[in-house]
């Protein structure tokens, strides 16, 4: 069963990867460099968790994988932009991401800033060009994605994160920070797929709660991996949080308590959805799988 679900995850991730490759092409014009930088950071390396969640949301609503793909790819493009910008010297100043030099190292800072900007704009352009669902469902899903990525979502979390550097913050503020920085886009991934395919209100709140829990668990594990992971498997150097003076779940509670927190959150998330049909069972497996991830 577990192997089957892992296989499903890999297949969906592969579908998102292939679609991204098809959607974001290098153009043979004066600005070809920007497409190369976009593709450099976008393709080959990410887990595609957000894209897969978007497909899950669509299927939960009774929709098809193909209908979710423009939204799934858009969210992966937004995620890639956030990583490019997060790695810049003005932010976390990281040199390695997804096992290779970060965008500003492989190209230059100006190109990395622009590649991030281009991915963000391209994400919404892609939805408008490629969406196969109704205009009203497309708009509803876009609203969810823009909200998750924006000032009351990921950008808001990034602002809180930068503000909190080299200060000791409490667990309430840390949770809120990560709910926005990491959780908002993860939630938007699932909920935009659901909305794009016309999901009814009945399951909406449960799915949102599920996404919130796995988003937080995902971040707790990220904090643990930053001190205990394997650099090669992770594709980035360890101790980035320490380097940037960040408060994390690990600095606040230690590794063991953080592991327990991740397991509890994932268990709670799994119980919410496990009886919601085949797709619910997959989401329940995914919650547990993520709490034990190594990369």
By CB under 6 A, name the binding residues for ligand GRG: 45-47, 49, 79, 82-83, 85-86, 98, 154-155, 158, 181-182, 219, 222
What letters, b where the CB count within 10 A reaches 16 and e where it falls short, cover 77-89? Answer: bbbbbbbbbbbbe
What's the min distance (Å) between Cβ of 184 and ligand GRG?
A: 10
Q: In the complex, what is the shortest distance from the CB of residue 80 to ligand GRG, in angstroms, rounded to a whole number? A: 8
DSSP per-residue letters across 182-194: IIHHHHHHHHHHH
Give the residue at shortest CB distance from ligand GRG: 46
Q: Which two tokens stand for residue 274?
A: 């496990």
The HSE-up count of residue 278 (CA atoms within 13 Å, CB side) is 6
Which is nearest to 22 in space by CA: 70, 56, 59, 71?
Answer: 70
- Closest to ligand GRG by CB, 46 or 280: 46
Spatial separation of the C-alpha atoms in residues 60 and 77, rounded to whole Å: 23
For residue 290, which of 232, 223, 216, 218 has the smallest C-alpha distance?
A: 218
Instruction: Give the residue from 13, 6, 122, 4 showing the smallest Cα distance to 72.
Output: 13
Q: How far is the CB of 259 from ligand GRG (least distance, A)?
A: 17
Are residues 276 and 203 in contact, defined by beta-carbon separation less than 8 angstroms? Answer: yes
Nearer to ligand GRG by Cβ, of 58 and 160: the residue is 160
Smallest gap from residue 200 Cβ to ligand GRG (A):
29
- Angle formed at CA 174 by CA 169 and CA 177, multiple of 5 degrees: 120
DSSP state of 166: T
CB of 136 to ligand GRG, least distance (A): 28
Q: Which is nearer to ligand GRG, 59 or 98 (CB)?
A: 98
Structure tokens at 195: 């909305």
Q: Which is nearer to ligand GRG, 47 or 143 (CB)?
A: 47
Q: How far is the CB of 63 from ligand GRG (least distance, A)?
A: 23
- Which one, 192 or 219, has the nearer CB to ligand GRG? 219
User: In angstroms, rounded to a whole number, what is the distance separating the alpha carbons of residues 215 and 153?
Assistant: 12
Nearer to ligand GRG, 226 or 279 (CB): 226
Task: Report the residue number, 181 or 213, with the smaller CB distance to ligand GRG.
Answer: 181
Closest distance between ligand GRG and the C-beta of residue 45, in Å?
Answer: 6
The three-state secondary structure class of 101 is strand
């Amino acid at each position: 069963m577990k192997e089957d679900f892992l296989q499903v995850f890999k297949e969906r991730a592969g579908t998102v990867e292939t679609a991204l490759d098809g959607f974001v092409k290098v153009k043979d014009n004066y600005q070809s460099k920007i497409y190369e930088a976009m593709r450099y950071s976008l393709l080959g390396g990410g887990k595609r968790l957000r894209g897969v969640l978007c497909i899950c949301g669509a299927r939960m609503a009774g929709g098809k994988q193909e209908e979710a793909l423009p939204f799934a790819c858009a969210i992966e493009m937004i995620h890639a932009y956030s990583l490019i910008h997060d790695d810049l010297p003005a932010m976390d100043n990281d040199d390695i991401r997804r096992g290779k030099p970060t965008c500003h190292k492989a190209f230059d800072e100006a190109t990395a800033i622009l590649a991030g900007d281009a991915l963000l704009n391209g994400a919404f352009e892609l939805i408008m060009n490629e969406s196969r669902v109704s205009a009203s469902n497309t708009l509803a899903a876009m609203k969810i994605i823009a909200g998750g990525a924006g000032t009351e979502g990921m950008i808001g979390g990034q602002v809180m994160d930068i503000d909190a550097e080299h200060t000791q913050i409490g667990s309430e503020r840390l949770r809120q920070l990560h709910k926005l920085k990491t959780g908002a886009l993860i939630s938007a991934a699932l909920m935009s797929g659901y909305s794009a395919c016309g999901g009814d209100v009945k399951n909406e709140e449960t799915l949102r709660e599920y996404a919130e829990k796995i988003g937080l668990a995902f971040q707790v594990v990220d904090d643990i991996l930053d001190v205990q992971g394997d650099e090669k498997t992770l594709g980035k150097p360890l101790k980035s949080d320490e380097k940037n003076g960040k408060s994390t779940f690990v600095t606040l509670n230690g590794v063991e308590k953080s592991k327990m927190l991740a397991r509890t959150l994932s268990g709670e998330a799994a119980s919410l959805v496990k009886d919601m049909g085949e797709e619910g069972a997959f989401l329940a497996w995914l919650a547990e799988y993520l709490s034990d991830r190594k990369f």
